[in-house]
Amino acid sequence: MKPYVLFLIVLLAACGGQPAPSGSPSPIPSPGGVSVSSAQMPQIPAHVLTWMSFEDTADLPLPTVPLASFASDVDWALLNSGGADNESLQAAGIKTAVYTDPNHYIVGDSTVLQRLFTIADVAASCSKAPVAWAKPGIKPAYITDIRLADVAGKWKAALDAITQAHGPFTAAFEDTSDDPYTYASPGPPCASNGQPVLATTWTNQTAKMEGAVGYPVIFNDLASNGKGASAGLGLLHGPALGGLAESCYGNRPTSPKANGARWIGEAQTELYAHRQHKLFVCHNEETTDGATPIALDARLYQFASFMLTYDSTTSIYGSHWAVGKSQVRVQPETGLVALAPVLQVSDVSQLVDAFGVYQRLYADCRLNGVKVGACDFAVNPDAKKTQPLHLPFAAGHVLALSGSGILDGGTVILLPAAPPSTLGPTEAIVVFP
C-alpha cells in the first residue's frame, strides 16, 4: 500500500470525510516524485522561505548529501559559533546566520566570543553579587551587562574574527536576547536607582547593543510567553533584521501543538513582525521522527498556523523534525506557497469566525511551483472544543502529508477528499477547490 493511501485512510477516519469519486485529478507530486512538464513549471517563489540548522550537534548533524542536491530548497542556514560552512553555503546562494550569545558569559566555553568575556563583563544584582544564569543543564554561566560598551565591543571583535576566518556572513544570530529575569540568581541586574532593572530599559539597551555591533542581527526572543504576548516585540522597533520564535506553534517534547493564548500570541507576533518589515523565523524544535501519525498531524497544524499570518517576503519556516539519512531537515509542506490573501489583516482577531475557527483564504496558491488555484487554511487553536467548520468555497481537495524530509521520501499532495464538517481541538486543515 502506498504511503499516501494509508495516510488518506487515517485522515478520513479522523475527520469523518469521504473520498472523492474515481477519476478526480491526480495528486501533484512533491520533490523527488514524478516530474512535471515545462509548461507547468515554476513561477517563483517555489517554496516558502526556509531556515535550516548547520550547527552540527548530536541532535542536528550535518547533511550527508551534496549541497547542490538541496541548495535551492534552503534560504537561510544557522551556522555554529565558529562560522564553518559559511563560504560554501554563501556560494550556493544560501543566506547565513552565525550563532553567538553576547547576553551570557559561559564559564569554560571555548567559542570565539566566550573566550573574550570575563567576570568583569557580568551584570551585578542589587545585592552586589554577579548575576548568575542558573538555567538547568547549562555550564556555570552569568548574565552579561549589555549596558557596558565593552560587551558590544567584544561581540564585534568575535564577529570580525569569524568573518576573517570564513568570509562575510549575512547576519549574526543573537541567542537568548533581552531577558534579564529568567534564571537570574540571586536576582536580575540592578538599575542605577538600586532597584531591579526595568524590562523596557533592558530592551532599549539590547537594541542599542544590536545597533553598535556593526553587523545585521537576528535575535532569539519572539517565542510567545504563553500570555498572548512575545517578550521581544520591542526589539522589532530596533535595528535588527528580525527575530526567531523557538518552539513556534508547538513545543517539545510533550506538547507539539500550541493552543489558546500562546497560539494567539505567536500569530500576533508573526503578523506584527511583517507590519514592521522585519523577519520572523518560525523555528520548530521537535527532533523526533517526523513521519509518525502524531508528527504528521502536528506538522500540518504548525504549518497551517504559520501560513495564517505569514508574508512571503518576511516569514521564514524552520523544522527540526527528524528525517532520513540525508539529514536535510526541510519538510515538503514548505512547497505550498500562498499568495494574494483575500483579506489584509492587522490583527489575528480579524481571521476568527463566529465559531472560533481561524481561517485565511488566498486567491493564488502553488504547490512546488505549480498553480493550484485558491486555498484556505483553517485552524482550531482551542485545546478542548470541537468547532463547526464553515469554508469559503466548496472544497474538493485537502492537503495531506506523508513521510519526513524532501530528500527522504516525504511528500505533500492535494488529496481528492471531502473536508470534515468540524475541526477537533488543536486541529488544522488546508483545503482547495
pTM: 0.89
pLDDT in tens, 185-237: 999 999 999 999 999 999 999 999 999 999 999 999 999 877 666 778 999 99
Vertex 14 angle, CA 12 and 20, to 5°: 15
Architecture of domain 3-432: Alpha-Beta Barrel (3.20)
Q: Report how far residue 301's alpha carbon sits from residue 245's, in angstroms, rounded to the nearest whole number.
A: 16
pLDDT in tens, 21-71: 333 333 333 333 333 333 444 456 899 999 999 998 888 999 999 999 999
The three three-digit cell numbers of residue 418, written as one number: 471531502
Q: Is the dihedral of CA 99, 104, 109, 110 positive or negative?
A: positive
Looking at residue 350, what DSSP letter applies? G
Residues with Cβ within 8 Å of residue 77, at least 6 apart in sequence: 51, 52, 53, 54, 85, 89, 94, 95, 96, 97
Give the number of other Cβ atoms within 10 Å of residue 344's Cβ.
6
Please give the chain's pLDDT, 433 residues, in tens: 333 333 332 333 333 333 333 333 333 333 333 333 334 444 568 999 999 999 988 889 999 999 999 999 999 999 999 998 999 999 999 999 999 999 999 999 999 999 999 999 999 999 999 999 999 988 899 999 999 999 999 999 999 999 999 999 999 999 999 999 999 999 999 999 999 999 999 999 999 999 999 999 999 999 987 766 677 899 999 999 999 999 999 876 567 899 999 999 999 999 999 999 999 999 988 899 999 999 999 999 999 999 999 999 999 999 999 999 999 999 999 999 999 999 999 999 999 999 999 999 999 999 999 999 999 999 999 999 999 999 999 999 999 999 999 999 999 999 999 999 999 999 999 999 9
Domain boundaries, the chain: 3-432
Q: Kind and range of the H or E element at 200?
A: helix 199-212
Cα 240 to the center of its chain, rounded Å: 17
